[in-house]
Each structure stands twice: as structure tokens, then as C-alpha cells.
Structure 1
């Protein structure tokens, strides 16, 4: 009976506080940070047991190994959720006449964005702490812009649809991380490395170039609704996608050059 009483109290605490609308943003951010930390620690333990080459890596390489595992898990989670909200959920459908599309949100969409904010904060903290081992200033800029835009959409409920459109670009992260793992494992000349390069090229085009074109087109079609957002929200909704799209095009150029070199060496 005593155990049942504690269980009921715990369930009531979760419903009334942790999952209450006003607490969802803060709860979800904490969940994102804790999940990132858990994946990082589990990766270290798992890799020590199942990967023979892991102990021989340098300290920086072991840190990046676990860090990339953390980013891969976040990418899978946020890609699935973003695709659901953008293409399958009725929350942001034009046929929903309850409110303007730029102001629609739900407990699930807000929680999802909060988890992503928690990840970006965790990863940004690691990038700064180990700077520049885990990435240069472009990664710091990318994470700052992403965290600011996602946090704004989470806290205000404004522009969540466009935030999820941008987050679809995380689809490319697992392939990029796999490329680093293959390189670190000494498999740079393997067929898997070549296939990985082709997959990155395709997914980058599909997930980081085309969605931004669709996003700007969608903004144009719904500009009358976008104008009703707060000035800060409008600034984020135009500036962040523009900056990220330019960065994506620059990185895409590097991917094309790298793929050409790889194919040339195999001819």
C-alpha cells in the first residue's frame, strides 16, 4: 500500500508540474540535457567493451567519438518528429482554421523543441569547452543560431512549423558522423566510405538544400500571417534560415569537392 501511495504521488507530480503547460519548456530542456549526458556516458561504456580500437584513440578522439554518438541520437529523434509535424500532423495544416499557422503549437511540439534546445546547449557547451577540437567558429555560430531560434519557438509558440522545417536538416548528421567513424577506424579506402560519401551528397541535397527553398516559398505564401508575429520572431524566421542556407551551400560545395576527389582516386 505504501509503494502504491508513492506511485500515485509521483504520477500526480508529473501530471500537475512536469507536464503542465507552463512547465513543459523547462522540463523538456532538462530532459534533453540529461538524455545527451546519458547517451554520452553509455557510448563510452559500450565502446570500451565492443570496439577494440577505442582504447587506443587519443583523449580528444574518444571525446569526439561519444559526442558524435550524442548528436546522432538527437538527429534521429528530431528528424522523425520534424517529419511528422511538417508532413503528417494536422497541427500545421492549412485546412485547420482554428488559428493562424504561425501561432499554432501543442504540448508535444513544444516538448520536442525543448529536448532539441537541451541537446544544442549540451553540444555547444562541449564545443566551447574543448574548442577548437570539436569544431571551429562556424559550429559555434550554427549552434547559437539554432538554439536561439528553437528556444524562441518553444517559449512563445510562434513559428514552430518553420522551426521544424529547418530541423529536418538534421537528417544528414548520422551520415556525417558515420564518415568520421569510418575515417577514425582506418576505413577511408573502403567501399563503405565511398557509399557513405554518395549518401551524404544525396541527403544533403534533399534535407539541407531543397527544404530551405520550400521554407522560403511557404513564407511567401503565408506572409500575411508571418507579419503578425512579433518583430523578434520575424527577424529569426527570416535571418536564421538565410544564414543557415548560406552555410549549407558552402558545406555542400566542400562535399562535392570531397566526393570528386574520392571518385578520382578510384578511377
Structure 2
């Protein structure tokens, strides 16, 4: 009886810690958006001050997004390679580290939703609203019930593609030509990163899901947990595939148009 009470107290304390981290994350990312990003950006590049009001809002939003992606992405890599508990039991493995990472992301998503709604004319996007709600719906079960840590962590690996996506927008806002070497290089890296962490992992994700389907661990999940897991996964993968197609098309156009322009200049040079 005493051990049970101690265990319950420990769980309550941990739950309070996770809640505190999530709320602190909301305020931290709001602070980054309103104070840190404008100050740092204005000192890094003079081009920031020349942006329009709407562009500055999106710049700060993407700067915060990049920082979140770098921190969470590397935490997820560490968990993937060194947390044996969730690899051995992807449904009910020890979720301690995953909960900590998910709580950071939960705070970020709530913060970003508030910014999207408040600055709708500048950064409003229905797809992002749907994306954030689907992720928060699934992460609610991860944080409240400690379920599906392996799958939650695998999902968060997708953040590793975010920095290059945001960098593409930064280059465009600063007036870099699409045919510039830095833009083309970043575009190729963006396409590769996006494919690896968002699309290439889809077979692995669903094969692991299939391997636990129908097992005792699966049936221990609540109905809500199962529906959140399957529904959110499907929605996110549909969006990821759609975004991947757009990125691939854009990357192809830039590479193809760049070669075409180079060939045209060579031909014109010979004609002259």
C-alpha cells in the first residue's frame, strides 16, 4: 500500500512537471517571437528592417519555428538511438523522455496557434491550423496516458526538415534570386530532408503500427487513444505527401529553369 501511494505521488509530481514545462514553453516561445527574434534578426541582417510589417511577423514566426525544430529534432534523435525502452515496447515503453520532448512541442504548437489566429492576415493558414490541432489531439494522449512513445518520437523527427524550409523563405524575403547557389543548395537539402524525415519514414511507421495491431499492448489502449493515433497519423501523412509533391515540383522547376537559363546564355554568347 505504501509503495502504491509513493508511486501515485511520483506520477502526480511528474504530471505537474510536464504541465509546467508545457506552459513554460508557451510563454518562452511567445517571448522569442515578440522580443528575441526581432532584436537578434535586426543585428544579424540589415534586410530585416526593410521588410514589411507582415513579413516581419512571418519572419519572427519562422525564426521561432526553426529554433524549436533544432532543439526538439536533436532530442528526438537522441531518444531514437539511445532510449531502448521505447524501441522494445513502442506502445507502452517508458515515456519519460518522450513526454518531456512532447511537452515542449505542445507549448510551441499552442503558442503558434495563438499567433496564427491573432495575426491571421499575415500568417493565417487553414492547413497549419488543421496540422496543429491533429498533432495536439494525438499528443494529449501521449502526455495524459503515456502511450505510444515510439510513434510520438518518430513523428517529431519530422521537425528536422523545418530549418531548411524556413531558410528558403528567409532567402526569398531578403531578395535572393531563386537561381542563386545558396538558394538552390538549400532547396535541394530541403527536398532531401523533407523526404527522409516525413515521407521515407511512412513505411517504417505503418509497418511498426501493423506489427502491434491486435496484440495485448494494442487492446490495452483506450478507444480514444487508438482513434487519435490512427486518425492523426493518416491526416499528417496526407499533408506531408501533398507538401512533398509541391516541394519536389518547386525544386525541379528551379533546377530545370537554372540549367535552361545557363544554356540560353551560352547560346546567346556564341551567337553574339
Which of 190, 213, 216 aligns to 2:180? It is 190
Contact 1:116/1:150 (<8 A) preserved:
no
Contact 1:79/1:168 (<8 A) preserved:
yes
C-alpha distance after superposition, 1:65-110 (max 9, x if no partner): 111011111111111122222232112132xxxxx54123343322
2:236 corresponds to 1:244: yes
Gaps in structure 2 of 5+ consecutive residues: 1-8, 260-272
Contact 1:176/1:200 (<8 A) preserved:
yes
Rg bigger for which structure? 2
Deviation, structure 1 residue 43: 1.1
Contact 2:98/2:153 (<8 A) preserved:
no
Deviation, structure 1 residue 186: 0.7
2:13 corresponds to 1:20: yes
Instruction: Tell me what 1:258 maps to.
Output: 250
Please identify, of 25-34 and 232-241, the stretch whose mean Cα deviation from structure 2 is larger: 25-34
C-alpha distance after superposition, 1:192-243 (max 9, x if no partner): 1001111111111100012222111001111212232011110111111111
Deviation, structure 1 residue 38: 3.0
**Residue 220 and residue 132 in structure 1: after superposition, are their counterparts in 2 closer, same or farther (change >3 A)?**
farther
- What are the equivalent positions in structure 2 for 1:113-132 lying under 5 Å apart? 113-132=102-121
Contact 1:219/1:226 (<8 A) preserved:
no
2:191 corresponds to 1:201: yes
TM-score by length of 2: 0.85
2:40 corresponds to 1:38: no
Cα RMSD for the two superposed structures: 1.8
TM-score by length of 1: 0.87
2:78 corresponds to 1:60: no
Gaps in structure 1 of 5+ consecutive residues: 1-15, 95-99
Report how many residues are paired: 246
Deviation, structure 1 residue 36: 0.8
Deviation, structure 1 residue 160: 1.8
Instruction: Tell me what 2:132 maps to.
Output: 143
